[in-house]
Structure 1
Amino acid sequence: MKLIDGVIVYQENDGDYIIVTSGDALKCFNGMIRCNQTAATIIKLLQKKTSENELFIEMSQEFDAEEATLKRDINEVLESLNNLGLLVKD
């Protein structure tokens, strides 16, 4: 799975992250999403083709969190992106 082209992640001065779309991604979602570092990291990892297992491995190296928490966070972000039409699954 991966994000469709045109999903961009920006970090604001206060540490929050903003997700915006451009190009083809505008057809699915035209707006702005505020998110935390966890969601932004998942979205950045999804800019190249990856699997849920690969996401989990990368996230467990990046964040000191319990396995259940990481898996829940990954699933929530994937579900949200899928609902917006921004995620391409194999």
Structure 2
Amino acid sequence: MLKCADGHYYVGHSDNLDVRVAAHQSGAIGGYTHSRRPVELVWSETFGTREEALAAERQIKGWSRAKKQALIAGDWDLISVLARSRSRG
């Protein structure tokens, strides 16, 4: 997960994290982060397969800002609380 200069978060997956972050940082990748540079890597995780990484990306993209910030902080208790409060709607 990247934190953009405007404070927004970008979630993606990659087979080579260093190369991908550098591409976002340099502007070589158009799209969401291009006009929001510089970016900062704030969270990453290694997954066993590309499919698992893509599933995690899709899940996290749907999370609230607060839940993403809890993930960055490693606060699993807060993630759980936020998940329960959202499901109660």
Higher relative contact order, chain-length normalized (CA < 8 Å, sep 6+): 1
Q: Which has the higher strand share?
A: 1
Larger Rg: 2
- Into which bin does the TM-score normalised by the smaller protein fall? under 0.3
Q: TM-score of the superposition, structure 1-length normalised?
A: 0.26
